[in-house]
Chains A and B, each alone.
Chain A
C-alpha cells in the first residue's frame, strides 16, 4: 500500500502532464473500434495531408510563442503568398515562384520582427496592422479576383508520391526536423527559450534578445509562405481570403500541444501532436456524422479543456 501510492501518483502525474497525448491515443483507440473507415490507409493518408499545410506554419508559430510573442499576420502572409506564387507560376515558372514567394514571406516577417524587436511595439498591434495591410495588398494586386494556374511543372510536382504520400507531408517532415534541431541543438535555439522565459535576464546575460525576436518573426513569415506554396501545389490557386483561419489554427495547435503562451517553454514536437490531434478530431467528427455546427462547438470545448489542463499542470509544477 505504502509502495503503491507513489507509483499511482506518478501515473496520475504522467497522465496529467501528457494529457494531450493520452487523450489523442485514447481518442484514436475509440475511433478505431467505433469507425472501421477511420483506420483505413486512405483515411490515414488523408489525415496526414490535411495536417501538413497548416502544420508547416504551426512549427514556426511555436518558435514565436516560445519567444514570448505571437503573430496574427501569418494568415495574411499565407493569403498573399498564394496569390504571389500563382502569379509567378503563370509568369516566371515554378522555381522562380518558389524563391520569390519564400523571400517575400520572409520580408514581411522581418518587417513584423523589426517593429516588435527593435521599435519595441506590441506584437498584437503590429501584426494586427500588417494582417490587414497584407491582405489588402493581395486584394489590390489581384483586383480581388481569385486566380489559378495550369503550370505543367506544378502539376507534375503535385503528382510526386512516395507510396501514397504526396510531397507536402515530406516537406512538413523536413520542416519539423529542421525546427526541432534548431531549437534543441543550436545555441540560437536555446537563446530563444531564454528570451521568452525572462527577457531582462536573457538580455543581461548577453543574449542578443532583439535579434532573437527579429529572427523568429522572419522565420514565421517564411514558413507561412512555404505553407502557401504547398497549398498552391495542392489546390493550384491563389486568392486574398485564403488561409484566414491559419493564425488561429496554428496558435490553437501550439497551445493544445503544450507550449505555454507565456513563452520560455514548449517545443515543436509538442505542436506536432497538437496539429495531429486537431486533424484527427476534424476527421473523426466528419466520419462520426457530426454536423458542421456541432463540430465548431466540440472544437471550442476541446480547446477550453486543454487550456484548463495547461493551467493545472503549470500549478502543479509551481507547487
Chain B
C-alpha cells in the first residue's frame, strides 16, 4: 500500500511538473516564438538558447525552446505541434544539411515567419529560407589557417608540423572549418602529421587522441589546432600531463571560459570567434524584422575573426 501511495504521489508530481513547467515561459498577450534546437544540450547550444530567450523577452515575445535531439523526424513533429498550437513565429536549428529539405519545405508551407540558425540547410531548399543566421564556417577555418601561418612567421622553425583535431565526422561545421583551414595551408610547408582525428567535440576523446599523437610524434610536433574550446581543453590536459606544456603553439576556435583563461595565461596563441550569444540574439532580431514585414538579408553571418589575449574583454564568454 505504501508503494501504491508513492506511485500516486509520483503521478501527481508528473502532472504538477507538467503544469508548472508549462506555465513558466509564458508572457500573457505576447506573440509566441517556437524554437526546435537540434543541439539543445551541446555546449554551444546553451548560451545560444539563453540569448534567444533574453532577446525574445527584450523584444516582447514569449518563447519556447525544445530539444530536437538531432532527429529531423522529431523536429518535424515538434514544428507541426507548434503550428497546431498557434505559435506566431518559428526558429529552426537543423541537425544536418541532408535531412533539412522536408523541414524547410514544411516551414515554408506554414506561411509563418521563420528563420534558420547555426547550421546551413541543404542547397536544394536554400531559396525557401527567409533568413539564415549562421557563421561563415569556412571563414572560421581560414582564420585558423591564417593564425597558423602567422605563428610560424613569428616563431621560425625548421619543421612546421601540426596536429589537427576535428569535431564530428559528417558534421557540416566540421567539414567546412576543415575546408577553410586546408584552403589557407595548401601549398605552404605546414605539414599535418595526422589523418582525420575526430574527437566529436568531446574533451575526453580529444585528450585520448592527443595522448596517442604525443606517443607517436612527441617532440616532432610544433603546433596543435583544435576545432573548439572543449576539445582544446582535452588536448591541453594531455599535453600538460606529458610535460609538453609551453612547448607547442596552441590554437582553437571558440569562446569557452577555458579558452579565455588559457589566452590570458599565454598558453593559447589565439582563438577564432564564433559567438553563440550574438548568433542567438541575431536570430530573434531577424525574426522580429520578418514579423514586422521589414526586409532582411538571406544570410546574416555571425561575426568571426581572431581573438587575442588583449581583446578578451571585447567578447562574451560561456
Q: Which residues of A contact B (CB under 8 A)?
A: 16, 19, 23, 27, 30, 34-35, 37, 40, 42-43, 46, 49-50, 53, 139, 142-148, 150, 231, 234-245, 282-298, 301-302, 304-305, 308-309, 311-312, 315
- Residues B11 and A305 in contact, CB atoms below 8 Å apart: yes
- Residues B73 and A234 in contact, CB atoms below 8 Å apart: yes
- Residues B74 and A50 in contact, CB atoms below 8 Å apart: yes
Which residues of chain B are near A144, meaning CB under 8 Å?
Answer: 168-170, 198
Q: A295-B66, A308-B6, A312-B7 are in contact. Are A148 and B77 (CB under 8 A)?
A: no
- Residues B99 and A298 in contact, CB atoms below 8 Å apart: no
The majority secondary structure among interface residues of chain B is helix
Assembly CA distance A50 to B175 (angstroms):
31
Q: A292-B37, A308-B10 are in contact. Are A35 and B85 (CB under 8 A)?
A: yes
Q: Which residue of A lies closest to B75 (CB)?
A: A235
- Residues A289 and B67 in contact, CB atoms below 8 Å apart: no
Which residues of chain A are near B22, meaning CB under 8 Å?
Answer: 285, 288-290
Would you give the 0/1 interface string for B44-83, flagging 1 where the beta carbon is closer than 8 Å to chain A? 0000000000000000000011110111111011101111
Which residues of chain B are near A305, meaning CB under 8 Å?
Answer: 7, 10-11, 14
- Residues A245 and B24 in contact, CB atoms below 8 Å apart: no
Which residues of B232-262 are within 8 A (CB) of A?
A: none
Once A and B bind, how many residue pairs between them come within 8 Å at the CB atom? 157
Assembly CA distance A43 to B86 (angstroms):
11
- Residues B4 and A298 in contact, CB atoms below 8 Å apart: no
A-B contact pairs, 17 of them (CB 8 A): A23-B11, A42-B83, A142-B170, A235-B102, A236-B102, A237-B72, A244-B70, A285-B22, A287-B84, A288-B21, A289-B22, A290-B24, A292-B65, A292-B66, A294-B24, A305-B7, A305-B14
Which residues of chain B are near A142, meaning CB under 8 Å?
Answer: 170
A146 interface neighbour in B74, B78, B97, Cβ under 8 Å? B97
- Residues A37 and B84 in contact, CB atoms below 8 Å apart: yes
- Residues B69 and A239 in contact, CB atoms below 8 Å apart: no
- Residues B84 and A46 in contact, CB atoms below 8 Å apart: yes
- Residues A42 and B102 in contact, CB atoms below 8 Å apart: no
Between B13, B21, B67, B69, the greatest number of chain A beta carbons within 10 A of the residue's beta carbon is seen for B21
Between B10, B65, B77, B86, the greatest number of chain A beta carbons within 10 A of the residue's beta carbon is seen for B77
A288 interface neighbour in B19, B77, B168, B175, Cβ under 8 Å? B19
- Residues B73 and A43 in contact, CB atoms below 8 Å apart: no
Shortest B135–chain A CB gap in Å is: 19
Q: A245-B71, A286-B78, A289-B24 are in contact. Are A236 and B11 (CB under 8 A)?
A: no
Q: Which residue of B lies closest to A46 (CB)?
A: B80
- Residues B15 and A30 in contact, CB atoms below 8 Å apart: yes
Which residues of chain A are near B96, meaning CB under 8 Å?
Answer: 146, 237, 239
Q: A50-B74, A245-B71, A289-B21 are in contact. List 18 more A-B contacts (CB 8 A).
A: A16-B4, A42-B84, A144-B168, A148-B99, A148-B101, A234-B102, A236-B102, A240-B170, A285-B21, A286-B66, A291-B65, A291-B66, A292-B40, A294-B21, A298-B14, A305-B10, A311-B3, A312-B4
Any chain A CB within 8 A of the CB of B311? Answer: no
Which residues of chain B are near A148, meaning CB under 8 Å?
Answer: 98-99, 101, 122
Shortest A46–chain B CB gap in Å is: 4
Q: A289-B25, A291-B65, A292-B40 are in contact. Are A301 and B98 (CB under 8 A)?
A: no
Assembly CA distance A16 to B11 (angstroms):
12
Q: Which residues of B contact A (CB under 8 A)?
A: 3-4, 6-7, 10-11, 13-15, 17-19, 21-26, 37, 40, 64-67, 69-74, 76-78, 80-86, 96-99, 101-102, 122, 124, 168-170, 175, 198
Shortest B92–chain A CB gap in Å is: 14
Shortest A269–chain B CB gap in Å is: 23
B67 interface neighbour in A30, A284, A292, Cβ under 8 Å? A292
- Residues A231 and B4 in contact, CB atoms below 8 Å apart: no
- Residues A301 and B14 in contact, CB atoms below 8 Å apart: yes
Q: Which residue of B lies closest to A147 (CB)?
A: B98
Shortest B125–chain A CB gap in Å is: 10
A302 interface neighbour in B14, B81, B86, Cβ under 8 Å? B14
Which residues of chain B are near A30, meaning CB under 8 Å?
Answer: 15
Which residues of chain A are near B168, meaning CB under 8 Å?
Answer: 144
Assembly CA distance A180 to B168 (angstroms):
41
Which residues of chain B are near A284, meaning CB under 8 Å?
Answer: 18
- Residues A46 and B77 in contact, CB atoms below 8 Å apart: yes
Q: Which residue of A lies closest to B10 (CB)?
A: A305
- Residues A235 and B21 in contact, CB atoms below 8 Å apart: no
Shortest A54–chain B CB gap in Å is: 9
Between B77, B82, B84, the greatest number of chain A beta carbons within 10 A of the residue's beta carbon is seen for B84
Q: A146-B99, A237-B99, A298-B17 are in contact. Are A312 and B70 (CB under 8 A)?
A: no
- Residues A236 and B101 in contact, CB atoms below 8 Å apart: yes
Assembly CA distance A244 to B15 (angstroms):
28
Q: Which residue of B lies closest to A86 (CB)?
A: B98
Q: A146-B99, A308-B3, A308-B7 are in contact. Are A290 and B18 (CB under 8 A)?
A: yes
Which residues of chain B are near A238, meaning CB under 8 Å?
Answer: 98
Q: Which residue of A lies closest to B84 (CB)?
A: A43
B77 interface neighbour in A239, A243, A283, Cβ under 8 Å? A283
Which residues of chain A are near B64, meaning CB under 8 Å?
Answer: 286, 289-291
- Residues A287 and B81 in contact, CB atoms below 8 Å apart: yes
Which residues of chain B are near A35, meaning CB under 8 Å?
Answer: 85
Assembly CA distance A63 to B3 (angstroms):
29
- Residues A235 and B77 in contact, CB atoms below 8 Å apart: no
Which residues of chain B are near A302, meaning CB under 8 Å?
Answer: 14
Shortest A139–chain B CB gap in Å is: 6
- Residues A286 and B170 in contact, CB atoms below 8 Å apart: no
